[in-house]
Structure 1
Amino acid sequence: MSFNTKKALGHILFWVAIFLFYIFSVTSFELFEQSIETTLFKLPLLIIAAYTFNYWQIPIYLKQKKYIAFGVSMIFVIAVLTLLFRLIGYYHLDKYCADGPYPLISLEDFPFHMLSFHFPALIMYFYKTNKEQELEKEKVFQLEKEKIATELKYLKAQLNPHFLFNTLNNLYSYVITKSPKAPDMILQLSEILDYILYKSQRISVPIIEEIHAIENYIALEQIKYEERLKVIFKKDIIDQQQKTTPLLLLSIIENAFKHGVRDNITKPEIRIVLEQFDSHIEFSVWNTKTDNQYNNKTDENKSGIGLANIQRQLDLIYPGKHNLEIDESNAFFNLKLTLKIN
């Protein structure tokens, strides 16, 4: 069923409901026949009042703040409808009038007719206004959703590009020297690229896929730094299919490698602990850092784009459901993230 057909059907059902309301609003069965005939004559006038009010007077005058024109148009429409109803009553409803024929002009019951003719119009107006507000909210929601999705794609795309270049350079050297490490390196890099380019486009992924990407990332970095780098990765996962945002945890680890394995750090070390509980996930990443005498208090580890990126993703995806704690000294930097999952 098309939108226009559904809309037309909705209008028909509305007027059927109004008709039934009017004919069954009588207080005694004896007046039922009169109520049906009166409503049949009055219904076209109610329809005219409703559509002129909602599709002419409201949008053209009231919403444009032409209050005088709106008031004049209301008086004019009500006067015309009242006159038409008087004519109908004068020629067709005279038999129901015990006090003589319907008068063609009567100002005494003008306020009654004003409310009477515009009762369905007001119902339609409030329904129409509520529907428009709902559509506007939905539009704003969709625009915000698209904006967030676009921003998240941009943030995900910021995973350090020099990691890929360095890995490819290392791979090239291993291939040239026919190192036995080359096949594993190709497989790990292939899996990371598949995760970053394709799987990360989903809204969420099973946590086991994020863990697998982390393990591949660590393996590639350890090939690069060999025995100079010490990495400890502990994990305690209850449900491997628990959904999580792709690249979020990996971005934190990438940030730790970026700042914790520099050439002027004698013994670089990174410790990663991932624990899953019934209601939340705790993710802690500890890394060595350059002493503050070489790297002042504006340490990029804390204030750089990497951590700002992570914080922004958390604000967008887990509003009110995350806690990010940072602890650092001259020798180390520790980040602890708690995510509510239920």
Structure 2
Amino acid sequence: MSDERFHDLFGGEPSVRGSAAGRVNLIGEHTDYNGGFVLPTAIPQRTSVWLAPRGDRAVRIASAEIDQGAVRAYTLGSERREGNWTDYVQGVTRFLAEEGHRFGGFDAFIASTVPIGSGLSSSAALEVSILNALIAAFGLALDPPTIARIGRRAENEHVGARTGVMDQMAACLADAGTALFLDTRDLSYERVPLPPGAELVVINSGVSHDHSQGDYNARWAECEAACQLLGVAELRDIAIEDLAHVEALPEPLNRRARHVVTENDRVPRAVAAMKANDLAALGSLFDASHASMRDDYVVSVPAVDLLVDIARADADVFGARLTGGGFGGSIVALVRRGAAKAVAERVTRAYASRSGLTPTILVPPR
């Protein structure tokens, strides 16, 4: 079907396809741009790109989900921020060329089932899928850390969203059967099997976010200010035993730093709980993470808090939390194995009734 759409739009056939999955972060939120630990896993929803090289430096791109499939165009070497979805593609080609990789113009059709603004890394899935298609089309030699770095530069320096590297690394390396225990400082990682006694439920709250806007970037700036006062390069450098130094910071920097330090401590504890199949401990860490994001980092919103509370009240749920950068988006819940579908349906029914919003069950896939 997408081959036909490509032909309708561009008058030819795609020669390659690139793809990347969305991700749900189990725990470790707002730690990646502070040099800390994260624990994402892949979700079934993906972004795919059908691409064909051209004989010039023109780029023509279209999205199945945005602009009613209208074709947008720009020229390699003349990338500029336009304030729309094409900025992610333009940022990728801008920094791919800046880092010395040779490629030409192309036509590309993009289709995605990763919901935009859901906290499930739709932007990184787009960046990495475009890069994977360009690698295949032009024979580029890029390893996952390089792909992730270029994607992050596109998001940070071209789009203007000061995100960390977790999303791009997850889009490159995460799979559905394991969680990627990633150290964002040195990009070392371990694949940790998901606990056999549990399943995941991921629900989009129906409240979307935009990380290129001010609130997310303000949290980054607050972390930088806390680092300056603490005399460290990154909040990763503050151990959990040194929280007294954090508590002495002025408001709100004390709470912002406290979240990062305690959240970074929760990630390896969550890994240990997963390896031990200790679902009660893992669920408690989910709950503590959400409370910290709500109260210290202040990135939750009332609708998401309600969705988390409804999920926690279910007898088959071990724990639940906001996942992703916040200001809307999705929750992830750890539930008893075999109960995921029923839990998701119960929770979304109650949430829709109480909030008036329309939630979407993303995991398990319907």
TM-score normalised by structure 1 residue count: 0.25
Choose 1 or 2 for highest CA Rg: 1
Q: Which gives a bigger RCO, structure 1 or 2 (Cα 8 Å, sep 6+)?
A: 2
